Amino acid sequence: MKKILIVSGHPDLNDSFANKTILEEMHKLLPDAEIAYLDKLYPDFCIDVPKEQERLLRADIIVLQYPLFWYTAPSLLHRWIEKTFTHGFSHGKSGDKLKGKQLVLSFTTGAPEEMYSYDGPQQHLIDDFLTPYKQMANLCGLQWCGYVYSGGLSYASRHDEKELARMKEKSILHAHRLVEKLKSME
């Protein structure tokens, strides 16, 4: 089995429902996968670059797990990418350390899936917001392996018991979909 690294970019999993559930389920389904919880490791945003580059070197498959915040990943995950994907490591003339590894995005959104259409309230397909990640993969020689995403996991619905049950089920299903995808990449 390939070595899987899941990088959790949620800024505070104590205040998460969907990502917390997905990560708990992933841990149960793939106990050998390494999970880096950036909120626990770097609440101060001071990324330990050598440690994180080592983590990347160990992995065959890199999964970025996050809630969509303003159409992109939360700032903590961006900070981790900015500091860890350095010239000479991930890209540049001699920067080939990520070459051949596989990249998968796994994310949740508050808006339901159907809102991400050209004639819907979000005015774009969800794919449109992923262009920077696709090009980052391309520049670093990472294999872009697509994404698993679940919408309708709104922060605002957390006080409604029925909505919570629906979101729990959807988050667990998300984890199973992600595992299916990772297994298909073997």
Ligand X SMILES: Cc1cc2nc3c(=O)[nH]c(=O)nc-3n(C[C@H](O)[C@H](O)[C@H](O)COP(=O)(O)O)c2cc1C
Interface with ligand X by CB under 6 A: which residues? 10, 16-20, 67-71, 108-111, 153-155
In the bound state with ligand X, the residue whose beta carbon lies nearer, of 65 and 90, is 65
Direct distance between the N- and C-terminal alpha carbons of the chain, in angstroms, rounded to an integer: 7
* Rounded (10°) angle between helices 161-184 and 18-29: 40
DSSP state for residue 79 in the 8-state scheme: H
In the bound state with ligand X, the residue whose beta carbon lies nearer, of 10 and 101, is 10
CB of 43 to ligand X, least distance (A): 16
> In Å, what is the CA distance from 174 to each residue of 90, 97, 113, 138, 162?
29, 30, 13, 26, 18
CB of 48 to ligand X, least distance (A): 24
Identify the CA nearest to 64 among candidates 25, 10, 135, 3.
10
Identify the CA nearest to 74 among candidates 5, 137, 181, 155.
155
Position with the least CB separation from ligand X: 110
CB of 125 to ligand X, least distance (A): 13
What 3-state class would DSSP assign to 37?
strand
In the bound state with ligand X, the residue whose beta carbon lies nearer, of 33 and 68, is 68
CB of 10 to ligand X, least distance (A): 5
In the bound state with ligand X, the residue whose beta carbon lies nearer, of 106 and 108, is 108
In the bound state with ligand X, the residue whose beta carbon lies nearer, of 86 and 154, is 154
CB of 35 to ligand X, least distance (A): 14
Q: Where are the beta strands (DSSP E) in 90-138?
A: 102-108
